[in-house]
Amino acid sequence: MEARRFVVVGPGRCGSNWLLDAVSEHPQIWVGPEVFNLRAGQAEFERRREAGIPVPALSDDAGSFLEEFVYSPRIGKSAAGFKLFYHHPQSDAARTVWPYLAEQGVHVVFLTRRNPLDWHLSVQYAIREDRWRGITDRAAVYRQREIALDPEEAHAAIHDFQRSEKAIFTALASNPQIVLSYEDLVEDFERCSLAVQEFLGVPPRAALKSRLRKQRRWTRRDGILNYQELYEHIASRCEACVAFFEEEEP
């Protein structure tokens, strides 16, 4: 029987590593690298070439590439997929991935964040320290708590987040899908991992756990140096965005 094809789609900094680190422990699920990520994907391809493993070329269309590299038959696997962030496809050939996924009815695990401000904050911390994940507190937790956010840049990032998410949700609206937020993972990771396993059609394993650690251990108010300035700037331009400043647990 052909493995169920899936893709994990999101904006990044939404718990995808956390979830896939756990899901990939299931013996019947194969999770490929970030094939459209110019940085991580190319590094993975280079490692495979050095090991003598053939890597197909992304030439004219993303569909042929995925058929050969990600969705080819794999012994003992009931589900096969990869991670795709909104910004990953950069070339015209890579951007054909979206119509391909829609036309093929690939199962979609949508990951999001209820709070786009927290997403932007996470991106800025990660970029500043080049620290994207870690399996120990020392490797994961950001070294410096205080950070200043450019108010106009933050407002634009929130808008881009919402615009991109709406466009991709619309493009893949007819696909079988499950939608989870980073906040869902934090609140009940076991429930989310079970839901994903069921969605992928594999026998569920309740014990699946991720090795990755939470990176920000403080509230956004305690971390953002210009919190009040940021609030006033964004609130004056987006009334609905005021909700993104509601108090949170660390």
Whole-Å CA distances, 62 to 81, 103, 186: 14, 12, 33
Asked whether 142 and 131 are in contact (CB, 8 A), the reply is: yes
| Sequence ranges of the domains in the chain | 4-245
Query: pLDDT 10s per residue in the chain (250 long)?
Result: 689 999 999 999 999 989 999 999 999 999 988 888 866 656 666 776 777 776 666 656 888 889 888 898 888 999 999 999 999 888 888 899 999 999 999 999 999 999 999 999 999 999 999 888 887 878 888 999 999 999 999 999 999 999 999 999 999 999 999 999 999 998 999 999 999 999 999 999 877 788 888 889 899 999 999 999 999 999 999 999 999 999 887 6
Asked whether 118 and 158 are in contact (CB, 8 A), the reply is: no
Q: Which fold has domain 4-245?
A: Rossmann fold (3.40.50)
Task: Give the distance from CA 5 to its chain's centroid.
Answer: 17
pLDDT in tens, 83-101: 999 998 888 888 999 999 9
What one-character DSSP code corresponds to residue 3?
Answer: P
Strand order in the sheet with 107-112: 29-31, 79-85, 4-10, 107-112, 177-181
